[in-house]
Chain A
Amino acid sequence: MTTPRKHKWASRMRAWKERIRALRRPIYVVCLSLLAAGFFAFTFSVNRLYAEKRAHLSAYWFQQGQAELEQGQPQSAIPDLRTALLYSHDSRYQFNLARALAAANRVPEARSYFLNLLEEEPGNGAINLELARLAAKDNDPNQARRYFNGAIYGAWDSDPILKRQQVRQELISFLIANDLKTQAHGELMSYTAEMPNTPNAQLWVARTFTKLGDDRNALDFFVAASQTNRRDVTALLGAGWAAFRLGRYREALEYFRGAESLHEDPSTLQMIELVSSVIELNPFDSSISATERRHRLVLAMGIADERLKTCADSHDVDIDTVSGDPLQLARSQWNYLNRQLRATYNNSGLVQLLSPVASLITTVEHQSGCGPQTPHDQAMLRIYQGAGELQR
């Protein structure tokens, strides 16, 4: 009885073993899956700890670097920002590292980072601006303009309008500094279309037009600034000067007097005196009568005579003889014009005399080594120099 039972058990065991053997592969797969899941969970938690640590370290080093950069210590900021970048490839970190490199005058390194960032975000205004500044540092106006334009038309995280205006201002300053005045004028005109209506902006525009030699627009913006802030002495002085250069002396006098009333200043007073003299002595004024014009020309000839005498004394030249000296030639011309003037009373004859008188006075007043110019001399020069352009 025992032997068959044993045999039965043995065969059952064998059958079980066979079944288990047949199932061994699926069992292996299940075991491996469980093992992989466990390992995965472990790695996941380790990785989370690691990620937290990296985030903490990157933030810490970024703050350090940022603070140093803001304190004007780019050299110290560079390794800190590099460390921040080691723990996180955040584009802010790269951007600030590049800024620190640029501030430390490590231009090629900075450019490389900015270009890398630009590759990721070609329309980013801030990156374009930084690249424009680097190109400007490298005296590469073409690249600088390209990147400035990228910044003007690029995307900005906050205050896009203000940022674009600032960038355009920077571009204009850059163009002026590189003597690209035509392009600068164009950009300035574009800027005026979008500029904020603040006295500072208006003053900046007015000054920039002045730098570009566009006194007409400069005057408009100085006036606008003075109207926005009626107590703005700078705007009034700017308007005065612009009007003076344009030959609009009465307006200029008005602005200088306005400025003087707000802030007494000897130089402003001098200008008021000069402008007043110009107004009084200006024979080109279309509103004056023939008598008044003749009177002004006579006065001008008198001032020229005085100046000639002073010059002759300084140079020890006898101007009443003729031997080829420029002063003697001027004296001959003066004598001739004086005779003409004495004989002329009608307006058309006086107008014809304006040009030769202007030429004589310019020659006389430009003589060097004749001592300091009197306010009248300055006024004369102002009136008669470039007489054709003056507004009568």
Chain B
Amino acid sequence: MIDTSVISSNTPPVIEDRAAPETPTQGERFFLLLAIFIGVFSGLAVVCFRITIDFLRIELLGSSVTPTFPRILLAPAVTGIVVALLVRFVFPRVRGSGVNQTKSALYIYDGYIPFRTAIGKFICSALAIGSGQSLGPEDPSLQMGASIASALGRRLELTRERLRLIAPVGAAAGLAAAFNSPISAILFVIEEVIGRWTAGFLGAVVLSAVSSVVVSRYFLGSEPLFRIPAVQFIAPTELLAYAALGIVGAVASVVFAKAIQFLRPRMKSLPAWTQFFQPALAGLIIGAIGLAGRPEIMGAGYEFMDQAMHDQFPWKILAILAGLKILTTVLSFVSGTPGGMFAPTLFIGAMLGGTVGAAARMFIPHLTGSIGTYALVGMGVLFAGFLRAPMTSVFMVLEVSGNYSIILPVILANTLSYLISRNLQPVPIFDLLSQQDGLGLPSMEEQREERVLRVEDAMRSVDIPVIDSQIPADEALRVAEEQGAAEILVDDPPFGWSSLTVGALRDAVEQSPSEPTVASLLSEPHMPSIHPDHSLDFVLRHISQWSFLPVTHRADSRRIVGLITMNDVMKAFDR
């Protein structure tokens, strides 16, 4: 069912393009400078957000790493009601994925994300995560960054095109500060939000991500998100164990995604009054699991991922934690509690990785990789399988571990996980969420996979006379008439290729007293250069002035390899 309330409430005011005329260089420079400011503001906002989460956790659950009764039950449940009220009455736009809301801003709302969303995400997510809901701070950080960027862009009267792009710039800054990993954040935004590389955009994203990481490191320290133990990869046979991890991770990713796919629309379709209690119920269940002896699944769980990497849990506990985290994250997320799924994804991956590593050691005791290595690779595996960001998943693992010796297992396991989960769950999670919300956002995965039709798919062989421009027009006419052609293709070095109709040629021959050459009859401009690897979109942009275009060889522009007409293009699209 489409959530029309979200759509209507997301409808922004019409943004006029109020920007004064400016040179492109001036505008680009200002955009890049603005990216730095966006990075600084996002970094500061994320630092405040992280501090607030920690403060709230201490106040709500107590300062001990293992919360005690009755706080462990009451904090997530009561805070759940508060969060539900805030979401319902004060910040209705904070429900949902920050990634999708940033994409909506980019593709639907001309870069518009209300600043109130940032405030709402800050308060509601901090309350939810601080009280122990099984969600992470990265997605809200991403959205806060996007919101700040959007607000600044509107205030500073950017052009519509730049305003549209500024939300992803802020998103990268927010995510970079949250992860303390600029490369992963940049790649994620390019891979999952914007889906393309352009020099201007890439520069802005890099500047904003770097400046936000500098700010967050200044306040929170330059230590990576996880203290990675010594990572080593020596025996190639160990790749089998990592391949198994890729498969297990893919299955877990699919289970995780399917559970959200199944439960989310059902929870949303329940009567409106139940929305007030859904986060509280999720919180109560999470608290009960914590009380039953597994408080590790509460909150983002970074400290426990760290412990898993340092071989602090037996494999059975790791497996139980992975299963419980899937359950609790699904509950928290489908109940409409604001918060992200990045940290839970990493948590599940780390626990699964640890489990597979421990199991592998039982069967092959001489394996060199530590449990920490498997936990680390497991994080990437879930990232690739569940969030479907394969490139980001590889770079994230490398960035947080700072060790390239692990690259082979990471690539292998992540690729397997990505491919298997794509087969088992064709719709990626972000696309799934946008579909459930009734938003027609472009799927980055589909875009990546989309087959580009090229000239070579549509061109045909040369079936008209090819005439040198220096020969007399009457000779050219004779050749054309002999072949029964209506048009000729003229080779006019060094200017390129042109064409003449037989009618025009005949008129010129009949009316001219002298003997004109073909070259003297040609009109400007010459035909554009088309090569077999050009996309048909490129052809469509140029073919309107011509009845056909010659397709030339890239290494020798005078060598014709075929012809292409509008009809050929259409036929190719029809196929």
Contacts and interface: CB of A to CB of B under 8 A. Distances in A.
A57 B58 CA distance: 10
Contacts of B65: 79, 82-83, 86
Contacts of B307: 82
A109 B30 contact: no
Interface string A39-70: 11011101100100110010011000000000
Nearest to B220: A47
A108 B229 CA distance: 14
Interface string A189-232: 00000000000000000000000000000000000000000000
9 contacts: A25-B26, A32-B37, A39-B41, A43-B48, A57-B63, A60-B63, A82-B65, A89-B223, A112-B372
A79 B54 contact: no
B55 interface: yes
A113 B310 contact: yes
B33 interface: yes
B54 A50 contact: yes
B230 interface: yes
B161 interface: no
Interface residues of B, number: 35
B64 interface: yes
Contacts of B41: 35-36, 39
Contacts of A89: 223, 227
Interface in B89-120: none
A115 B230 contact: yes
B310 A36 contact: no
Given A80-B64, A83-B65, A109-B311, 8 more contacts: A43-B219, A47-B47, A50-B51, A54-B54, A60-B63, A115-B229, A116-B229, A119-B229
B55 A36 contact: no
A143 to B, nearest CB: 16
B227 A47 contact: no
A47 B51 contact: yes
B40 interface: yes
Nearest to B50: A50
Given A50-B51, A89-B227, A112 B44 contact: no
B38 to A, nearest CB: 10
A7 interface: no
Contact of B219 (A47, A115, A116): A47
B159 interface: no
Interface residues of A, number: 37
Interface string B292-318: 000000000001000100111000000
Nearest to B37: A32
Interface in B1-59: 20, 26, 30, 33-34, 37, 40-41, 44, 47-48, 51, 54-55, 58
A47 B55 CA distance: 11
B66 interface: yes
A43 B44 contact: yes
Interface of A: 21, 24-25, 28-29, 32, 35-36, 39-40, 42-44, 46-47, 50, 53-54, 57, 60-61, 79-80, 82-83, 85-87, 89, 108-109, 111-113, 115-116, 119
Nearest to A39: B44
Interface in B310-332: 310-312
Contacts of A61: 63-64
Given A79-B65, A109-B312, A116 B51 contact: no
B156 interface: yes
B33 A50 contact: no
Contacts of B303: 82, 85-86
Contacts of B312: 109, 112-113
B30 A25 contact: yes
B319 to A, nearest CB: 16
Contacts of A32: 34, 37, 152
Interface of B: 20, 26, 30, 33-34, 37, 40-41, 44, 47-48, 51, 54-55, 58, 63-66, 152, 156-157, 219, 223, 227, 229-230, 303, 307, 310-312, 370-372
B37 A36 contact: yes
A45 to B, nearest CB: 11
A42 B54 CA distance: 17
Contacts, number: 79
B27 to A, nearest CB: 10
A46 B66 contact: no
Contacts of A40: 40, 44
A32 B44 CA distance: 14
Contacts of B156: 28
A54 B41 CA distance: 24
B227 A116 contact: yes
A138 to B, nearest CB: 14
Given A21-B20, A36-B40, A112 B310 contact: yes
Given A46-B51, A47-B47, A109-B311, A119 B40 contact: no
Nearest to A44: B219
B148 to A, nearest CB: 10
B30 A119 contact: no
Given A21-B20, A36-B41, A116-B229, A79 B66 contact: yes
5 closest A-B pairs by beta carbon, nearest first, are A112-B311, A83-B65, A112-B310, A50-B51, A32-B37
A87 B312 CA distance: 18
A89 B26 CA distance: 46
A318 to B, nearest CB: 67
A40 B66 CA distance: 33
Contact of A108 (B20, B48, B311): B311
A307 B34 CA distance: 110
Nearest to A21: B20
Nearest to B312: A109
A116 B65 CA distance: 21
Contacts of A53: 55, 58
Contacts of A113: 310, 312
A116 B63 contact: no
A35 B307 CA distance: 40
Contacts of A36: 37, 40-41, 44
Contacts of B152: 32
Nearest to B29: A25
B64 A83 contact: yes
Contact of B63 (A43, A83, A109): A83
A53 B370 CA distance: 35
B179 to A, nearest CB: 18
A389 B55 CA distance: 79
Nearest to B152: A32
B299 to A, nearest CB: 11
